[in-house]
Amino acid sequence: MKTNSIVKFSIIILICIAAYFILPWVAIFAGVSLSPNPQKPEILYAEFPFKLVFEMNGEQRTVEDTLICEYDGIGMNEGVGKYRKWKRRLQSGNEVIVLFETENILEQTTYGVIVSRSIIFSLGTPNYYMGENEKFEYTFPDASCREIYRAGEIRSRRVSADELFEKYGIRLISWEILPPIDNHFK
């Protein structure tokens, strides 16, 4: 009889522990799922031709491509609830504008060993271009540095125009792109 009550008590404790960890997530999921969907945009697709001129080690280079933004439905997460999802790609097939890239660095830092480093020009988010009224400030004439570590971690940081020139011999000269569209949501 005594062992039977110990088993029942253990099961009740396990159920309470599981409920303590699971119920808050179930409540958040239910709350987000039941919230209204964001309005659908009138314009679902847009192209933004651009031109970036930069100098690398005294040689002027030009990148011309088109940023393509496309509506991708509705997403949801516990931080913001439901939101409009957008896809972004470049017509060239590239994921980003890489100004400089090097691999097999094997540089030891406080975060670990860096195996590759890329200097990237930030285009901005598709939300910004598709009229979501999201604020975006171009980093021009700065860029971003993306470092990949041996453990697989990826870290990004902003690189000032001065550091860009002193460390990598890169100077951004001009950036031209169409402005964001005036989208309406219904």
pLDDT 10s digits, 94-112:
989 999 888 877 778 878 8
Q: For residue 84, what are its two tokens? A: 């409009």
Asked if 159 contacts 141 with a C-beta cutoff of 8 angstroms, the reply is no
- Per-residue pLDDT averaged across 84-98, rounded? 93
Q: Buried (b) or exposed (e) across 58-91, using 16+ Cβ within 10 A? A: eeeeebebebbbebeeeebeeeeeeebebebebe
Same-domain status, 64 and 147: yes
User: Which SS3 state, helix, strand or coil, does residue 110 take?
Assistant: coil
Asked if 120 contacts 97 with a C-beta cutoff of 8 angstroms, the reply is yes
Same-domain status, 153 and 70: yes
Same-domain status, 151 and 172: yes
**Would 162 be classed as within a structural domain?**
yes
**Would 40 be classed as within a structural domain?**
no
How is 6-46 classified by DSSP, letter by letter? Answer: HHHHHHHHHHHHHHHHHHHHHHHHHHHHHSPPPPPBS--EE
Domain of 156, in residue numbers = 45-177
Same-domain status, 16 and 59: no
**Would 183 be classed as within a structural domain?**
no
Asked if 68 contacts 47 with a C-beta cutoff of 8 angstroms, the reply is yes
Region of poorest pLDDT, from 28-42, 81-95, 97-111: 28-42
Same-domain status, 139 and 91: yes
- Is it the case that residue 54 has pLDDT exceeding 90? yes
**Would 103 be classed as within a structural domain?**
yes
Same-domain status, 50 and 13: no
Hey, how many other C-beta atoms are within 10 angstroms of the C-beta on 30? 10
Same-domain status, 52 and 141: yes
**Would 185 be classed as within a structural domain?**
no
Same-domain status, 132 and 164: yes
**Would 60 be classed as within a structural domain?**
yes
**Would 108 be classed as within a structural domain?**
yes
Same-domain status, 63 and 10: no
Same-domain status, 135 and 172: yes
Question: Can you give the pTM of this predicted structure?
Answer: 0.77
Question: Starting from the edge strand earliest in sequence, which strands make up the sheet with 112-121, in order?
Answer: 97-109, 112-121, 143-149, 154-159
User: Which SS3 state, helix, strand or coil, does residue 145 take?
Assistant: strand
How is 34-96 classified by DSSP, letter by letter? Answer: HSPPPPPBS--EEEEEEEEEEEETTEEEEEEEEEEEEEEEEEEETTTEEEEEEEEEETTS-SS
Cα–Cα distances in Å, from 26 out to 17, 22, 23, 129? 15, 6, 5, 34
Residue % of the chain over a pLDDT of 90 = 40
- Is it the case that residue 34 has pLDDT exceeding 70? no
- How many domains, in total, are found in the chain? 2
Same-domain status, 96 and 116: yes
Same-domain status, 54 and 125: yes
- Per-residue pLDDT averaged across 25-53, rounded? 84
- Is it the case that residue 1 has pLDDT exceeding 60? no
